[in-house]
Amino acid sequence: MRHLIAGLALSTSALALAGCVDARSAQEAAQAEPTAADAAAFLDRVETTYSEVGEEAARISWVKATNITYDTNWLEARMAAELTEMAVEFANEAARFDGLDLPEDQKRKLALLKQGITLPAPTTAGAAEELAQITTRLDSTYSTGTIDFRGDTVPQNRTEVLMRELRDPAALETVWTEWRKVSKPMKDDYVRMVEIANAGAEELGYDDLGQMWRSGYDMDPDEFADEVDRLWGQVKPLYEQLHCTVRSSLNEAYGDEIAPLDQPIRADILGNMWAQSWAALYGDIVRPANPDAAPVDIQALLERAEATPLDMVRTAEGFFTSLGFEPLPETFYERSQITKPEGREVVCHASAWNLDSKDDVRIKMCTEVNADDFVTVHHELGHNFYQRAYNIQPTLFQSGANDGFHEAIGDMIALSITPEYLVQIGLLEQDEVPAAEGDIDLLMQQALSKVAFLPFGLLVDKWRWEVFSGELSPEEYNSGWWDLREEYQGIRPPAERPADAFDPGAKYHVPGNTPYMRYFLAHILQFQFYKAACDQIGWEGPLHRCSFYNSKEVGERLDAMLEAGQSQPWPDTLELFTGSRELDASAVLDYFEPLMRHLEDENEGRSCGW
């Protein structure tokens, strides 16, 4: 939960309870012709209430996540329902001021209020209640879904493990297919949800919900769609080479019947339920190019140093203080959940929190001494330092420059965990730095996760845009989904899918209504940020070996970008750090350049593409 109250908006009824406004005066104001003074007063009221109710909601969510009981679940569910109602009402109230001549900062705040709600409901009686009921059912259907496999009832999280570990194509097809039976009953609810949310978006002045989502990027919605296509065009050649090599490796493992060399890859044999990451294939399917090259074993280094989870967190904090950032407050260490507590159920999924929009920043993890958690701690603290940097902004501007920035900052820091950095912090000796011959395998592991993800990160929302606009009818939902998956990812289902299937619903973010373009953007931005930092320190070696640890210049420019929050269009904020106003995926190509040359050599003579 990066932004605990992302898109906060508060209802008239809730405000009346808080003593901030009474319902009759709000109704009378809504009927009057709005003025600039009304807009200013409205925004003041919104931000005041955000500060009060936002902190309460954050603390309720924290208590629930760190102590899961019937009561804490009840409290969070009640607050979530209130916030959903608030979001709808404030978004509609913000739309009243469209067309007024207002200062730019007020215009921006009003736009953020309208765009901050993911699913707007129209003002039609009962629409908000029906929408809430539908989204609750969709979420429940997904989260409680199970499959039958070899006589056992398997929950969703265990199905992901099976997809990573199984190597029997028949078993993989069974798990893959059974999970998609869970999503089939969602379809009617999803169709109705689209109808209601589209009506809500139209009331706010948009053609449909997809246009509303795209309007949150400080550019014309159609231009934004073209922009992400341009970025995909930059990285597509790298993806195609990776696809070609992986398909060849799968063919060697499974043969022509399962992995033919002239077809898209079967989606169920890529080591992930959604084929969005292929990292699980590394080792036994995608074999190391240099088996004798010894990569850095971060876990072994941590164990040699007798590091504890707390040591790992302080090391990550040291990365930021080396750049010139102020240390975290002691309350961070007093109040964070760094390791899993005994005697109560908690959410272990790593997350970064800002509970009071000031200095009460925390992480919630069940940290163990291993390489994955060492990287994750650096990533999560990236969110915390971002949260603390923009707390100087008005409440409505306390967020990332766009929704891709927050994840990209954390990932940018994680990219800097290189052998160079490990030497700088004393975990690795200089004579232990691996030779460059092993870099291809390190880059392959990164590519199977980060490069493989790119087309999936793009197509999830492309499919939703087509659904929201009516380009895809309900009867075409599933076929349209697979058309995009073949076009962008070069994958196919293991068998023909039923006409009434709803395979998009098998991915949480679809029934959970979480916009997905942020993840595609983050996978581009993290490399753009990383390269900019390495350029600032004058790094001359291979980009993937760079660490900007201890650079005050990088820290000063990074802080300027983080402090801006969402107070200005994101190109202005991007320019503060990178010197460019444009998203640019060329840094992805620079980072993976040695791997690209290796893949092109490997694929010479093969028939690539699909």
Catalytic-labelled residue, pool 30, 303, 349, 475: 349
Catalytic-labelled residue, pool 3, 243, 378, 383: 383
Q: Which positions ≥6 away from 540 have C-beta within 8 Å? A: none
Tell me whether residue 3 is one of the annotated catalytic residues.
Answer: no
Catalytic-labelled residue, pool 386, 519, 530, 549: 519
Catalytic-labelled residue, pool 407, 414, 530, 598: 407
Three-state secondary structure string covering 446-460:
HHHHHHHHHHHHHHH
Tell me whether residue 378 is one of the annotated catalytic residues.
Answer: no
b/e burial code for range 515-546 (CB count within 10 A of at least 16 → b): ebbbbbbbbbbbbbbbbbbbbbeebeeebbbb
Tell me whether residue 509 is one of the annotated catalytic residues.
Answer: yes
- Residue spans of beta strands (DSSP E) within 22-85: none
* Helical residues (DSSP H) of 67-103, grouped into ranges: 70-95
Q: How far apart are CA 23 and CA 30, in angstroms?
A: 11
Tell me whether residue 379 is one of the annotated catalytic residues.
Answer: yes
Q: How far apart are CA 565 and CA 400, in angstroms?
A: 5
Catalytic-labelled residue, pool 201, 259, 275, 350: 350
Q: How far apart are CA 413 and CA 433, in angstroms?
A: 20
567: tokens are 């107070």
Q: How far apart are CA 447 and CA 248, in angstroms?
A: 16
Q: How far out from the chain centre does Cα 208 lie?
A: 23
Closest CA to 441 of 261, 332, 288: 288
β-strands 146-149, 265-266 pairing: unpaired
Catalytic-labelled residue, pool 82, 509, 553, 593: 509
Catalytic-labelled residue, pool 3, 243, 378, 379: 379
Q: How far apart are CA 234 and CA 590, in angstroms?
A: 11
Q: How far apart are CA 17 and CA 21, in angstroms?
A: 8
Sign of torsion over alpha carbons 81, 87, 90, 91 = negative
610: tokens are 């699909």
Tell me whether residue 350 is one of the annotated catalytic residues.
Answer: yes
Helices 70-95 & 104-115, crossing angle to 10 degrees?
130
Catalytic-labelled residue, pool 76, 85, 317, 380: 380
Tell me whether residue 523 is one of the annotated catalytic residues.
Answer: no
Mind telling me the catalytic residues? 349-350, 379-380, 383, 407, 509, 519
